[in-house]
Amino acid sequence: MSKPKDEQKIESIRTACIRIVLQTGFNGLRMADVAKEAGIATGTLYIYYHDKQSLVIDVFQRTKQEISEALFRFTPAGNDFTSVFRGWWFNYFHFAISNPEKILFAEQFLYSGLIPSAVVEETDRLFLPLDAFLVNAREAGLILRLDTEIIKAQLTAPVHTLLKVKEKNPELLDHQSVEGIFQMAWQSIQPQK
């Protein structure tokens, strides 16, 4: 019988991986550095992950799961499109601002070719409620008639850019600015009247 894995240790490994990858990129990622950063022996790291690609794939999957859980955590009551859209957008925004390294990590690897397409497809399924929501809104004429991937990119790209701006000027993201950012995102997907 194998020994159960220590979830706290796995989380430390994931955090270390993200931190190092954001500094060095995938090519600069070394298992010994991850182990050191996580405060464990390199041999222990290999009990959990047999190589750096399996580690990055696991971190990518877990990060996408956390993003989807945050996105759908609070959904306003009722089916009013505007309220649900606003709630989900702010859920994503607050997760991104609180976890910029996770957002940047997921963004870096999504189109890198290092994550197998089956894993990307699996993590994409976590966001099917959002896709269905956007398709229904598009069919009802509530948003532009564009592919849902384009709409999602339009909504998330400004948030990702703000993560970088926040590093230089954290005071820029006051309540009024955040509300303005939301309004720009909202208006960017509205059909012409």
Helix (H) or strand (E) holding 64, with range, is helix 52-72
Pick the CATH number of 62-188 from 3.30.420.40, 1.10.3470.10, 1.10.357.10, 1.10.3080.10: 1.10.357.10
pLDDT at 1: 43
Per domain, the residue ranges of the chain are 1-50, 62-188
CATH 1.10.10.60 fits 1-50, yes or no: yes
Q: Does residue 150 sit in helix, strand or coil?
A: helix
Q: What is the mean pLDDT, run by run of 10 residues, along the chain of 193 residues?
A: 74 98 96 98 96 97 98 83 93 95 94 95 97 96 95 91 82 85 93 82
Exposed (0-12), middle (13-18) or buried (19+): which is 31, by Cβ within 10 Å? middle
> What pLDDT is attached to residue 79?
72
Work out the number of other CB atoms within 10 angstroms of the CB of residue 65. Answer: 13
Q: Over the chain, what is the mean pLDDT?
A: 92
